[in-house]
A and B are shown apart, each in its own frame.
Chain A
Amino acid sequence: MNPILTVAAKEFRDDFRNRWTVALTILFALLALGIAWFGSAAAGRVGFTSFDTTLASLTTLGAFVIPLIGLLIAYDSIVGERDDGTLLLMLSYPLSRGQLVAGKFLGHCGALAAATLAGFGFAVAIMQWMQPPEQTMQAWLQIARFILSASLLGASFVGLACLISVQTADKSRAAGLALVGWLVSVVLFDLALLALLVVSGGNPLERAVYPYLLLLNPVDVFRLVNLTALGDGAGNDLLTGMTAHHVYPTALLYALLLGWAVAPFAWAMLAFRRKEI
């Protein structure tokens, strides 16, 4: 078997044994069901609401949770082996450094994707079962798009975690950097964009540039992929309102998300190849 697949299979299995995958599956399922059930509590109703609204809420939540999980699941993939003294052992086997990182990346991405599919898939199956009118092809396509884009978002942050893991000297520093990475990409980036909007007051140049600035962050690309497809009125007015005048080609968004899934990982591979052991 190809060494990349051998390493990936081991990491995938490890994530199951560490209960990572199982815990995530349960978390995703509970989040999805909770949002579906209590999503319209503010409007005075409890019970399954419209499928679009649920997906919009899930997107907002996923944009926070999935990057964090991607980082946590993989931040110690290389630096952890260095701490345990197994990195030299692994590298003394007939596989290249790139293959080692690639295997770890694929294994963790696989575990995260499996948890996303199982957790959200389970929740959606329940929702569909409880709400016969929502049993449409459209709904299933939307959930498929959500799971696919969530997996790609996860891959992006697993890649970032690999990069951090390659570049740091010990585990605690890697964990700290991973949290900083999460804070910057999930919270600070959007805050900075908002601040920009407020300060500039929406002048024409700003209006022209803003939609493209959003594409610089995989979290925002993930939001765009899901929310633009859901359309207005699904509780995502803030984001869609700011970009209402800009039409993103769907293919471009997917390509960008794919690019974001691969770029940090590619950087991690290059960095590891150059690293003095």
Chain B
Amino acid sequence: MNHPIECHALAKRYGDLAALDGISAVVPRGQVIGLLGHNGAGKSTLIKLILGLIAPSGGRLEVLGQSPWRAHALRRRIGYLPESATFYGNLTGRELLDYLARLKQAPGAQIATLLDRVGLAHAADRRIGTYSKGMRQRLGLAQALLGSPDLVLLDEPTTGLDPQATRELYRIVGELRADGRCVLVSSHLLAELEPHIDGALILRQGKLLAAGSLHALGEQAALPAQVLLRTREQAMPELLARLETGGLSAQPRPDGRLELQVPRASKLRMLRELLADPAIVDLDVREPTLAQLYDWLGAGPPSNAEAAA
């Protein structure tokens, strides 16, 4: 067994509609991988394929060394948090975990530990119907960790969570990574996801746009860094002209600062020059974000023209 997830030319068709087409990727052990894409890009289909709930129409998929389709026993080693599940409102948190632990043949001793770990120990004996959205998501995370799975799939885990709860969730995700487990997180919230993932799979209309570590993807895209400048009063027109002759076009921003796009290759040289410039009183460097990378890849929802074609 090499990697927790390996797929080659994986395809899933519903009638004439190709939900996934020609996906080839590897998800390595001990990493947190973001699964990104607009609605309908194929994220859910890929998750269902990994869980073995639907059969691939073509290609090869191996999860933890075997084909997942109808491999019930394999699912003991996979944890899954579905998107916006309400669970069973008439059970208490502890009863739900007890039921699910039996199904997964996980040791019952884990239940109390997990409830504690996600911060639900105080509410364990309350009915799930009385839980807030955030508590329900945390309970969902607890059940995904039953049986210490090697692979954890989190589908939009932070929808409806407050910032504190989101941080808690990613802290647990970090613990899983440190434990050598593989975590696949699907999310729309790129800025929030970015600091917590090692790599990404970016889907668009059923095709894999990009896959790899964030660093490699950044190198590949070679997006410019953004530099924001605050200038001395009255010095701005003069500075603008000077930058113009240097081949850089700066845009004034509504907050009175200037915005510069600095190519990756010349970033350090440019910064030294700018720092030495007496007209500049403050400077702010922003590296390209996951969201910009995403835009650069054209991973947004298909335009109308494309959809019609």
Contact = CB atoms under 8 A, between A and B. Distances in A.
Interface of A: 1, 3, 6-7, 10, 14, 17-18, 84-86, 88-89, 91-96, 276-277
Contacts of B76: 94
Contact of A95 (B48, B72, B84, B143): B72
Contact of A94 (B53, B75, B143): B75
Contact of B73 (A7, A88, A94): A94
B103 A93 contact: yes
A98 B49 CA distance: 19
B104 A93 contact: yes
A82 B235 CA distance: 64
A92 B80 contact: yes
Contacts of B54: 276-277
A93 B100 contact: yes
Contacts of B53: 88, 91-92, 277
A17 B53 CA distance: 31
Contacts of B130: none
B51 A92 contact: yes
Interface stretch (B24-32, B34-42, B85-93, B254-262): B85-93
A10 B91 CA distance: 10
Interface of B: 14, 48, 51, 53-54, 70, 72-76, 78, 80, 82-88, 90, 99-100, 102-105, 143
B83 A85 contact: yes
A6 B99 contact: yes
Contacts of A3: 103
Contact of A85 (B72, B86, B102, B103): B86
Contacts of A6: 99, 102-103
A12 to B, nearest CB: 12
Given A6-B103, A17-B90, A89 B72 contact: no
A190 to B, nearest CB: 38
A253 B84 CA distance: 48
Given A18-B90, A96-B72, 15 more contacts: A7-B103, A10-B99, A14-B90, A84-B85, A84-B86, A84-B87, A88-B51, A88-B53, A88-B82, A92-B51, A94-B73, A94-B74, A95-B72, A95-B103, A276-B54
Count chain B CB atoms within 10 A of each CB in A3, A6, A88 and give the residue with the most. Answer: A88
A92 B75 contact: yes
Contact of A96 (B51, B70, B88): B70
Nearest to B78: A92
B254 to A, nearest CB: 42
A96 B70 CA distance: 7
